[in-house]
A and B are shown apart, each in its own frame.
Chain A
Amino acid sequence: SQKIEQNSEALNIQEGKTATLTCNYTNYSPAYLQWYRQDPGRGPVFLLLIRENEKEKRKERLKVTFDTTLKQSLFHITASQPADSATYLCALRHSGGYNKLIFGAGTRLAVHP
């Protein structure tokens, strides 16, 4: 069956450290993968997109990698800040068809001062 898995346990890190979140998928051939941030009581906000032919993408303190052999994406936040505390969702779109994004359940990140 098709699955997108993110670590369901919260990730607690110290301010200034690098946070690394994992997204694994099975039985998908994603054309691209996206990462979103969701704060309590708010809708997800788009952060980064990476295509199947890209290995890495960066935006300011954020970095995403995409390994289609391992079927995994890693999301890194360097020099993390308490304001980075939120739930991070990965989403992928299966090759072909409409823009139907399938979301993982998200990983909650807590950055402590």
Chain B
Amino acid sequence: DTAVSQTPKYLVTQMGNDKSIKCEQNLGHDTMYWYKQDSKKFLKIMFSYNNKELIINETVPNRFSPKSPDKAHLNLHINSLELGDSAVYFCASSQGDAGPSPLHFGNGTRLTVT
């Protein structure tokens, strides 16, 4: 029973296209995140939502737009894809947004832009 699930697992697309990645968590957590892991394996936070409200928005191009229809879902839409967007994108959730709550990650979406 997957706790944090993301779809698709692999996404190959051409430059200039628009794509979406979906994420769902069944842990009852209030807070969800998007992280990007680049080729050097650094995990960098992009966004965080708490109860459908955006609370963290790092310096990310505005081609990236997160959407949280409810607290169990956080989707990521990317417009006008560029080569540099190729990476693995991880969704995560945690119980709270302020305390030392461990993150529960999905298994990632590998995005390849050609």
Cβ of B82 under 8 Å from chain A: no
Complex: A49 Cα to B99 Cα, angstroms: 12
| In the bound complex, CA of A103 to CA of B100 (Å) | 14
Pair A49/B102 contact, Cβ less than 8 Å: yes
Question: B105 interface residue, CB < 8 Å from A?
Answer: yes
Asked whether any CB of chain A lies closer than 8 Å to the CB of B75, the reply is no
Residues of chain A having any CB pair with chain B under 8 Å: 31-32, 34, 36, 41-46, 49, 51, 87, 89, 91, 93, 97-103, 105-106
Contact A43 B96 (CB under 8 A): no
14 A-B pairs whose Cβ atoms sit less than 8 Å apart in the complex: A32-B100, A41-B107, A43-B90, A43-B92, A44-B90, A44-B103, A46-B104, A87-B41, A99-B96, A99-B101, A100-B48, A103-B35, A103-B42, A105-B42
> Who on chain A is nearest to B31 by CB?
A99
Within 36-75 of B, Cβ neighbours of A (below 8 Å) are at: 40-45, 48, 50, 55-56
Residues of A close to B31: CB separation below 8 A:
99
The listed residue (B35, B44, B94, B104) touching A99 by CB distance below 8 A is: B94
Q: Report whether B106 and A43 are in contact in the complex, using a CB–CB cutoff of 8 Å.
A: yes
**Residues from chain A with Cβ under 8 Å of B40 in the complex:** 105
Does A99 contact B98, Cβ atoms closer than 8 Å?
yes
- Write out the residue numbers on chain B whose beta carbons fall within 8 Å of the beta carbon of A44: 43, 90, 103, 105
Please tell me if B97 contacts chain A, counting CB pairs below 8 Å. yes
Complex: chain A residue closest to B4, CB-CB: A43
A44 to B104 alpha-carbon distance, docked (Å): 8
Residues of A within 8 A of B96 (CB): 99
Specify which of A46, A100, A105 is in contact with B102 (CB 8 Å cutoff). Answer: A46
Q: A105, B97: Cβ atoms under 8 Å?
A: no
Write out the residue numbers on chain B whose beta carbons fall within 8 Å of the beta carbon of A98.
48, 50, 55-56, 97-98
Contact check, A103 vs B48: say whether CB atoms are below 8 A apart.
no
> Smallest Cβ distance from A35 to chain B, in angstroms?
10
User: A106's closest neighbor in chain B, by CB?
Assistant: B41
Beta-carbon contact of A105 and B41 below 8 Å: yes
Q: Interface 1/0s, chain B 84-100, versus A by CB < 8 A?
A: 00000010101011111
